[in-house]
Chains A and B, each alone.
Chain A
C-alpha cells in the first residue's frame, strides 16, 4: 500500500489508471444513487450485457479499436436495451425481472455471435472479449482517461441542471406528471445517463461486475443519509475511493486483477455501512433493541413491585425478595439495576420502593 502511494507520485501509468478508475467510480456513484432509489439496481447488469452488440457493430463498421467509438456503440445499444426493457414492463404482463433477463441474455448472445464473426476475420487480433468481460483498467491510457473525464463531467453537469426534475421523478413520478413534467422524456433522459455511467464503468470492471460498481457506492451511502444530495455526495466519494483503493491493491500485486478488487472493496464498504451506520445500521439497531428490552423488563418488575407494595399502607415498607421469585420474567439482575437507578432500597434479603421509585411506578 505504501509502495502504491510512492508510485502514485512517481509512476505515470499508475497515475493515469488511478485517475481513470476514480472518475469512473465517481460517475457511477452519482448516477447509481438514482438507479438504487428508483429500484433499478439490476438495470446496470442488463445494460452492461446489452452494450456488447453495440461495441461489436461499431468495430465491424469502422474496423478500428477506439475508446470513444466503444463508448458510443455501447451507449446506443445499451439505450435500445433499456427502452425495450421499459416497453416490455409497461405494455405486457411480464414483470421487470423477466424483462431484464430477456434483454440481458438476448443482447449478450447476439453480441457473442458478432464477436465470434469478428474474431474469425483475418486481421481482427481478438477484438477484446476478455477486455469487455473483465474490464481493462490496467490498459487505460491518458487519452482514454481524458474521454472518460469529459463524459463524466458532462453527466455531472447535466445532473445538476436537471436536479429538481430528477429528484421529483425519483421520489414521486405521479406528482411530477401532475406538475406537467414530461415524465416519459425525463425517464428516458435519466436512464440514458445511467447507461453512459455503466458504459464508462465497463472499462474499469467489465460486464459481470458492473452492477456492483453502479449500486454498491449508492447502497452504502443510503445507510448514512436520508437526504438525496448528501447521499449522492457520499456515494460519489465512496465510488472514487473504491476505484483508488482497488487500483492500489492490484498495482501492488500483479496477479490480482483490478475489476474484481474494486468491486470487492465497494461491497466491503456496503457491508461496513450495513453494520456500523449510526441510524440504520444493524449494530445500532441491535443495541436499540436490547436497550428497549432491558427498559421493558425493569418497568415490568417495577409494576409488579407496586402491586405488592399497594397491599400495604406505607409504600416504603420492606418486602421479602422471595416474593418476587415467583413472578413471571423476574431476574435477579433487575434488582441490582433498579437499585443503581435509585428506585429501590435493598437490605440483605428485603427490598422497598424509594419515593422516586414509587412515583415512577405510579406513572407507568
Chain B
C-alpha cells in the first residue's frame, strides 16, 4: 500500500466513525432524514463561506456552513409548529429551498468558482489526500484527515461526558425534562454536531455518502441489539468495516470510493435486514407464521372446550365441522391444525369425533384465563410450557 492509499482509508475510517456516533441517536430519535436535509442545505453556507474566505477547508467556512445546517433545523421546526403542514413536508420544502439558493449563487455570481455542485453531492475521496496540512514547512498529512479527527474527538468527548443525558433524553424525553436536562438543549447540541460532521465530511466524501454513513450503520446495529452501548459499538464496527472494504472494492473495480462504501453498506444492511436473529425479515416472518398457527389451534381448542359438556356426540366436534360447519376452513388448513394439535397431544380423534385430552383441557383453560383477564402477552409463556412442538 502506498501512503496515499493508507491516508485515504484513514480518512474514510475517521469520517465513518464521526458519522456513526451522532447517527445512532438520530436513528433512535426518528430524525434520520434531518441528516439528509442538513447535508443538502449546507450548500449556500459553503458557497458564501467560500466567497468570504476563498479557502474550502478554512475553519470559518466550516463553522459558517454548520450554522446553515442548524438554521435548517430551526426552519423545519418553526414551519412544523404552525401546524399548517406535517414535519416531513416541512423538511421536504426547506432543504430544496436552501439548496436552490446555493446553486443559483454558484451559477449566477461565480462563473469561476472552484466548487462543483455535483462534487458537493458525490465527493471524491481519492482526491482528499492532495490537500495537505503544512505547519512550519512540515507536511503532517491531509487537511481533511485533521479536520475530521478534530470533529471526531469533539464528538467522542461530548459522547463520553453527556452519555447519560443523551441516553435518557433519547428514550424518555419527559423523564429527562423532569430531571432538569432540558431536552431542547440536548436536541440542538446533537443537531450542531450532526451539522458540523456533515460539513467536515462533505469535502471528502460528498453529501450522499454522509447520509449513508449517518443512517445505515446505526440502522443495521439497531436490528442486532437492544442495548445502546452495543448499538454504538456495532455501528462503529460496521462503519470501519465498510470504509476499508469500500475502498478496496473501488480500487479493484476502478470506480468511485464513496459510491462503493455506500454500496457495501447497502449489502451489509440487506444481510442484516434479512438474517438478523430477532428483528430480521426471515425471523419476523417465521415468528408470524408460528404465532398464526398456534393461535389458530388455540381458537379451535377453545371451540372444542365450549362444546365438550353439551352432549356426548355434538356435530361441533366432528372433523367435518371444520370444513363445512362454523369454521369453513379449507381442507389443507383443517388438516394442518388437526395434525398440529394431535402432535402436541392436545386432542384425540375417535371415529371422526374430536375430544380434548386432559393436557389439552388444562392448556385451554389456562389460555382462556389469560385471555379473559386481558393478559394475552402471557400466552407466549404457556405456549412455551405446554407445546411439545412449536409451529
- List the interface of chain A (C-beta within 8 A of B): 36, 39-42, 44-45, 49, 87-88, 91-95, 97-98, 100-102, 104-113, 115-117, 120, 129-130, 133-134, 208-209, 211-212, 214-216, 219, 222-223, 253, 255-257, 259-261, 263-264, 267, 270, 274, 280, 282
Bitwise interface map of B from 133 to 161 toward A, beta carbon under 8 Å scored 1, else 0: 00000000000000000000000000000
Interface residues on B, range: 35 or more
Of B99, B122, B223, which contacts A93 at CB under 8 A? B223
Question: Please, which residues of chain B bring their CB within 8 A of the CB of A264?
Answer: 97, 100-101, 104
Verify B103–A109 contact, CB threshold 8 A: no
Q: Is B121 an interface residue (CB 8 A)?
A: yes
Verify B86–A109 contact, CB threshold 8 A: no
Bitwise interface map of B from 54 to 88 toward A, beta carbon under 8 Å scored 1, else 0: 00000000000000000000000001001011101
Chain A nearest Cβ from B267, distance in angstroms: 9
Of A100, A112, A212, A267, which contacts B259 at CB under 8 A? A112
Verify A105–B209 contact, CB threshold 8 A: yes
Of A45, A216, A256, A280, which contacts B108 at CB under 8 A? A256
* Tally of contacts, chain A with chain B, CB under 8 A: 199
Verify A110–B223 contact, CB threshold 8 A: no
Verify B40–A97 contact, CB threshold 8 A: no
Chain A nearest Cβ from B94, distance in angstroms: 9
Chain A nearest Cβ from B6, distance in angstroms: 22
Verify B269–A44 contact, CB threshold 8 A: no
Chain B nearest Cβ from A320, distance in angstroms: 46
Bound together, the chains give a CA A274 to CA B103 distance in angstroms of 25
Verify B32–A209 contact, CB threshold 8 A: no
Verify A113–B104 contact, CB threshold 8 A: no
Verify B216–A274 contact, CB threshold 8 A: no
Chain A nearest Cβ from B172, distance in angstroms: 17
Chain A nearest Cβ from B170, distance in angstroms: 14
Bound together, the chains give a CA A130 to CA B104 distance in angstroms of 15
Known interface pairs A105-B208, A106-B216; A41-B258 also in contact (CB < 8 Å)? no
Stretch among B248-256, B298-306, B379-387 lining the A interface: B248-256
Bound together, the chains give a CA A255 to CA B103 distance in angstroms of 11
Chain B nearest Cβ from A206, distance in angstroms: 9
Verify B92–A215 contact, CB threshold 8 A: yes
Specify the chain A residue showing the minimal Cβ separation from B99.
Answer: A208
Chain B nearest Cβ from A8, distance in angstroms: 23
Of B85, B97, B266, which contacts A109 at CB under 8 A? B266
Interface of B is mostly: helix
Known interface pairs A95-B30, A97-B31; A106-B93 also in contact (CB < 8 Å)? no
Specify the chain B residue showing the minimal Cβ separation from A282.
Answer: B82
Question: Please, which residues of chain A bring their CB within 8 A of the CB of B345?
Answer: none
Bound together, the chains give a CA A312 to CA B269 distance in angstroms of 82
Question: Please, which residues of chain B bring their CB within 8 A of the CB of A88?
Answer: 273
Question: Please, which residues of chain B bring their CB within 8 A of the CB of A36?
Answer: 85-86, 89
Question: Please, which residues of chain B bring their CB within 8 A of the CB of A214?
Answer: 92
Q: 14 A-B pairs, CB-CB below 8 angstroms?
A: A39-B88, A91-B284, A92-B273, A101-B32, A106-B262, A112-B258, A129-B122, A211-B92, A219-B89, A256-B104, A256-B108, A257-B103, A264-B100, A270-B93
Verify A97–B92 contact, CB threshold 8 A: no
Which chain B residues in 165-221 approach chain A with CB under 8 Å? 208-209, 211-212, 214-216, 219
Q: Is B265 an interface residue (CB 8 A)?
A: yes
Known interface pairs A93-B223, A97-B31; A208-B96 also in contact (CB < 8 Å)? yes
Chain B nearest Cβ from A219, distance in angstroms: 5
Chain A CB within 10 A, most for which of B103, B212, B222, B280? B103
Known interface pairs A88-B273, A97-B31; A106-B212 also in contact (CB < 8 Å)? yes
Q: Is B35 an interface residue (CB 8 A)?
A: yes
Chain B nearest Cβ from A220, distance in angstroms: 10
- Beyond A92-B284, A101-B33, A105-B215, list 10 extra A-B contacts (CB 8 Å): A39-B86, A41-B92, A42-B91, A49-B208, A101-B211, A113-B260, A116-B259, A212-B96, A257-B104, A274-B84
Verify A267–B93 contact, CB threshold 8 A: yes
Bound together, the chains give a CA A215 to CA B266 distance in angstroms of 28
Verify A130–B97 contact, CB threshold 8 A: no
Verify B262–A97 contact, CB threshold 8 A: no
Chain B nearest Cβ from A311, distance in angstroms: 46
- List the interface of chain B (C-beta within 8 A of A): 27, 30-33, 35-36, 40, 79, 82, 84-86, 88-89, 91-93, 95-97, 99-101, 103-104, 107-108, 117-118, 121-122, 208-209, 211-212, 214-216, 219, 222-223, 250, 253-256, 258-263, 265-266, 269, 273, 279-281, 284-285
Bound together, the chains give a CA A134 to CA B107 distance in angstroms of 12
Verify B118–A133 contact, CB threshold 8 A: yes
Chain B nearest Cβ from A191, distance in angstroms: 15
Chain B nearest Cβ from A152, distance in angstroms: 21
Chain A nearest Cβ from B44, distance in angstroms: 11
Verify B266–A106 contact, CB threshold 8 A: yes
Question: Please, which residues of chain B bring their CB within 8 A of the CB of A208?
Answer: 40, 96, 99, 121
Chain B nearest Cβ from A147, distance in angstroms: 25
Verify A106–B265 contact, CB threshold 8 A: yes
Chain A nearest Cβ from B11, distance in angstroms: 17
Known interface pairs A49-B208, A87-B281, A211-B92; A97-B259 also in contact (CB < 8 Å)? no
Known interface pairs A106-B266, A112-B262, A117-B255; A263-B279 also in contact (CB < 8 Å)? no
Bound together, the chains give a CA A222 to CA B83 distance in angstroms of 12
Verify B35–A101 contact, CB threshold 8 A: yes
The 3 A-B pairs of least Cβ separation, nearest first, read A109-B262, A106-B266, A112-B259
Specify the chain A residue showing the minimal Cβ separation from B213.
Answer: A105
Verify A219–B85 contact, CB threshold 8 A: yes
Chain A nearest Cβ from B243, distance in angstroms: 13
Chain A CB within 10 A, most for which of B99, B262, B279, B284? B262
Question: Please, which residues of chain A bring their CB within 8 A of the CB of B273?
Answer: 88, 92
Question: Please, which residues of chain A bring their CB within 8 A of the CB of B104?
Answer: 256-257, 260-261, 264
Question: Please, which residues of chain B bring their CB within 8 A of the CB of A97?
Answer: 30-33
